[in-house]
Structure 1
Amino acid sequence: MNTRIAAVAMAVLVVAGSVPAAAVATQNGTGTQEASAYSGTHVTFDVQDSAVVDYQVEGETVLDSMKVQSGSSGNAAGVFDGSLDLSALATIEGSALSLNAQTSAAVEIGAEGSASMTAHDNDHGILVVRSGGNGQAVVANVSSNAEASAESDQQVEVTTEDGTKGTFVVVGDGSVTVNENGNVAAKLDGDSRLVFRSYPDEKTETDEQTEEYIASGKAAAEVYVEQQDGELVTDTVTYGQQTSVETKQTAENTVNVTVDRAASEGKVVVTSVSEAAVGATEDISVTVDGEAAAQASSYSELEGAIGSDTSKYMVEQSSSAEASADVYVAINHFSERTVQMQGDGGSDGGDGGDSGSDGSGSSGGSVPGFGVGVALVAVLGAALVALRE
C-alpha cells in the first residue's frame, strides 16, 4: 500500500511541475484562498481578495491594481443612479475575485455576480473586463508616477514612469475617465467591456488603428500566433457577442482562422502572426473560404470591404522584437468564415495544433485535454482510492 501511495504522490508532483503558466494559491489555516499568482510568457500578476494587483507586461508594472464592482452596490451605485460623477469614483470595495479556467495563453478571473476578467498572455498583455449583462464599475490604479489622460469618454491613455504606454478602451455602452486621484474609473452598461492594452516596445500608428477598430465595434476579434518554447501557441480576444474563433496551423507556413458569428454584419479580424507560424511575413497571401481576398492599399479601402462583395486584407510589419506581422482582414459578411494566411513556401493540407474561443474572450493554446486543474483532481482522486484500499 505504501508503494502505491508513493507512486500516486510522485504523479501529483509530475503533473504539478508541468504547468506551463504557474498559478499558485496560498491558503490560511481554515483553507480559505487568500491570494493567487499567475506567471506567463508576457504577463504576470497576483489576485488578492477583490483586486488584480501588480499587473506586469514584459516585466514592467503597468497597473498597481484593478477592481470591479456591481453597479447596484456600494458607492458604485451612485455612478449608475446619477448621484455621483464618474470622475469622483476614486475607490470601490470590489467584488471577490478568483482564478478560474486557464490555458497556455490566457487565464479567466471570476468575480462575484456577473462580471469577469480575462488576462491574455500576448505581447500587449490584453486585460478584458466583461460586465456580463449587468452594470459594473471599474477602478484601476495605474503604476506609481504614471500619468493618465482621457482622450474621449471611451478611451484613456496611460504612460508609466519609464515611458511604457497603455490604453483603456470601452467596447459597447459605457464610459471611462480619469478620476480625481489621477487613476482610471469606468462605467460598463449591459454587455459592454473594458479593454486594457499595453505597448512595451512602442505605440505605433498600427496600434492606434487597432484601438479605433475595437472602440468603434468594427473589430470582431484579435488572434495572436507565436512560438513559445518551440511550440506554436495561439491566443484569441473576442470583442463581439456570440463570436467564436478557432485557430489551426494546417500545414507548414499556413494558419487557418475560423470565425463564427451569429450576426451577419461584416467585421475586421486583427491577427498577429509570427514568422514561425507563416514563414516570411513580408509575403503573406490571404484567402477567405478558399477564395483569394483582395489586398487593400489603405485602411479606408479595407473598411469599404465590409458589406461589399469581396473581403480584403492589409499586412503591417510589427514593431516588436520578434519577427511578426499584423494582418487586418475585413470580412465582408458573416456566418462561419475561414481565413487562411500563408507565407512564402506555404502549402495546403496537413493538420496541426489548434485552439479556440467560445466567445468569452478566453482562448486555448497548446494545452491538451481537460487542463492541469482537472488532471490534478483526477490524480488526487486516485490517491484517495489508494488510501481507501
Structure 2
Amino acid sequence: MTRTLASIAIAAALVLAGALPATGAAMGAQQSEGHAGGHVSFETSSNAVVDYGVGGETVLESVAVDSQSAVESDAGVGLDAGLSAMSDIAGAALSLSARTETSATVTADSGAELTAHDNPRGILVVSAGNESQYVTANVSSGAETSAESDERVVVTHEDGRDGAFLVVGNGSVAVDDGGNVSASLGEDAKLVFRSYEGERAEDDEQQERMIANGTATAEAYVTQSGEDGSALAADAVEYGNDTRVDVTGYGEGAVNMTVERTQHEGRVIITTVSEQALDASENLSVRVDGEATAQASSTSELRGGLDEGNQSRYLVRQGASADARADVLVAVNHFSERQITMTNESETTENGTETATADDSEESTEGDDAETTADESTPEPSPTAGDGPGFGAVAALVAAGLLGLAATRRA
C-alpha cells in the first residue's frame, strides 16, 4: 500500500513538472504584445516593434527608438559622428498603450510614441514628443534603401511592397552601410513610413513631398476592412501637431470630415476612399463649408488654391489597387474649423438617364412650375375596368339626372 501511494505521488510530481514549462510558455505568450488588423500586424519585444507587416508581407523587421540624450550618454557619441553611428541603438522599453479599430499605439519610456495605422498603406508614425529622439529601422530582407534627401529615404523591393520614410518637422533621415535606416528627430518632429502595393508611382512621390514639406498635414482613409473586406472603416493620420481630422460620416455615396487647424494658412488634406464608400471617378462634388470647390488638373494647380487663397480646390488621382480606391486631395484655402463634404452629384437610373441632385432640383423649381413637356404632362385616364369615372362618364351621369328631373316635373 505504501509503495502504491509513493508511486502515485511520484507520477503526480512528474506530471506537474512536465506541465510547468508549458504553463510558463503560455504565460509568456499571453504577455507578448502586438496587433493583428485587417491590413497591419506587428509584435513588440522589450525595446522594439518587430515583424511589422502590411498586407500579409513583412516590410520592417524592427523599429527602435530612444532619446538622444540617453543614446549619446550610453554610446559616448553625438550627432556629429553621423546618423550611421546610431544604427545599433538598444532602444527604450516599449509597451502597447492604446488600440482602436484602425490604429495601435506603442509608447516608449523615452517619451516617443509609435502609432501603426491599419489602412492600406500601413502608415507607421514615430512621434518624438517633448524630447529629441533617435530612431532605427531594419528593413525586410531583399529590400534596397536609398536616400533621396535628408528628409526622405525610399525602400524598393523587386517582389514586394515599396515604401518611403519621411521626416516631418525638424530632423533628418539617412541610410547606414548595412542598408538600414536611421533618423534624428527634434522635439515634436515625426518619422513617417508609408508602404505601397508594388512600385511607387509619381503621384505617391508628389504626396510624399507635400507631407515632408508640411503642405499636406493629414490623411484620411475610408476603405474596406475586416477579414473579407465587406465592411468600411475610417482612419485619420495627422502629421501636423496643429491639425485635427475627424471623419464624421461615410458610405452610401458620401464622405464627411471635420478638419480643425490652429494656424490660419491653408493646407492639403489627402483622402483615400474605396469605391464601396464613394465613386470618385465621375460626378464627384467636393464642398468646403457648403461651398463648391474647383477641380484642379495638376498638383501645381491644386497648390494654387493655397497660394491664392480665394477658393478651395480638389484633385482626384485614381489608384491601381484591386479594390478600386482613389485619392482625393483637397486644398483648403484657409483654416480654423472647416467641414469637407464629398458626394456623388448624380446617380444613373436603370434606363441610363441621370437623376438631378437636390441642388439641381432646388434651382430649377420655378422652371418646372412654368413649363412642362409633352412627356411630363399628366396622361388622360383610360376607361378600363377598375378605373375611376373619367370626364365623359361624369357628363353622362349629369345628363341622366337632368332628364329624370324633367320627367318628374311633366308628371
Q: Which moved more, 1:104-113 or 1:241-250?
A: 241-250
Task: Give me the whole-angstrom Cα distance separating, in 1, the residues matched to 2:264 and 2:68.
Answer: 32
- Which secondary structure does the structure 1 equivalent of 2:87 belong to? coil
Equivalent position to 1:67, from 64, 68, 90: 64
Q: Please report the TM-score for the alignment, with normalisation by the length of structure 1.
A: 0.78
Query: 1:6 maps to which residue?
Result: none
* Greater strand proportion: 1
Q: Which amino acid aligns with 1:126?
A: I
Query: 2:292 maps to which residue?
Result: 292
Change (3 A) 1:175 1:33: farther
Query: 2:164 maps to which residue?
Result: 167
- Which secondary structure does the structure 1 equivalent of 2:338 belong to? strand
The equivalences for 1:184-223 within 5 A come to: 184-223=181-220
Task: Give me the whole-angstrom Cα distance separating, in 1, the residues matched to 2:121 and 2:103.
Answer: 12
Query: 2:339 maps to which residue?
Result: 338
Query: 2:114 maps to which residue?
Result: 117
Deviation at 1:163, TM superposition (A): 4.2
Q: Which amino acid aligns with 1:286?
A: V
- Which secondary structure does the structure 2 equivalent of 1:227 belong to? strand
The equivalences for 1:64-103 within 5 A come to: 64-75=61-72, 81-103=78-100
Q: Please report the TM-score for the alignment, with normalisation by the length of structure 2.
A: 0.74
Equivalent position to 2:40, from 43, 50, 53: 43
Task: Give me the whole-angstrom Cα distance separating, in 1, the residues matched to 2:317 and 2:76.
Answer: 41
* Percent of residue pairs identical: 50
- Whether the aligned pair in 1 keeps the contact of 2:251 and 2:277 (CA below 8 Å) is no
Task: Give me the whole-angstrom Cα distance separating, in 1, the residues matched to 2:314 and 2:252.
Answer: 21
Matching of residue 316 in structure 1 with residue 317 in structure 2: yes
Deviation at 1:265, TM superposition (A): 1.0
Change (3 A) 1:83 1:120: same
- Whether the aligned pair in 2 keeps the contact of 1:117 and 1:130 (CA below 8 Å) is yes
- Which secondary structure does the structure 2 equivalent of 1:41 belong to? coil
- Output one character per residue of 1:73-131: Cα deviation in whole Å (capped at 9) or x when no partner: 13477798444211222211101111121111111111113200100111110000000
Query: 1:352 maps to which residue?
Result: none
Task: Give me the whole-angstrom Cα distance separating, in 2, the residues matched to 1:64 and 1:31.
Answer: 21
Task: Give me the whole-angstrom Cα distance separating, in 1, the residues matched to 2:79 and 2:271.
Answer: 40
Task: Give me the whole-angstrom Cα distance separating, in 1, the residues matched to 2:76 and 2:60.
Answer: 23
- Whether the aligned pair in 1 keeps the contact of 2:50 and 2:62 (CA below 8 Å) is yes
Gaps of 5+ in 2: 1-22, 348-356, 359-411
Task: Give me the whole-angstrom Cα distance separating, in 2, the residues matched to 1:81 and 1:225.
Answer: 43
Deviation at 1:243, TM superposition (A): 1.5
Gaps of 5+ in 1: 1-25, 349-389
Task: Give me the whole-angstrom Cα distance separating, in 2, the residues matched to 1:279 and 1:222.
Answer: 18
- Output one character per residue of 1:244-293: Cα deviation in whole Å (capped at 9) or x when no partner: 11112267311111100111111000000111112453332100000000
Aligned residue pairs: how many?
324
* Greater helix proportion: 2
- Output one character per residue of 1:56-87: Cα deviation in whole Å (capped at 9) or x when no partner: 11111111100001001134777984442112
Higher alpha-carbon Rg: 2
Query: 1:264 maps to which residue?
Result: 264
Higher relative contact order (CA 8 A, sep 6+): 1
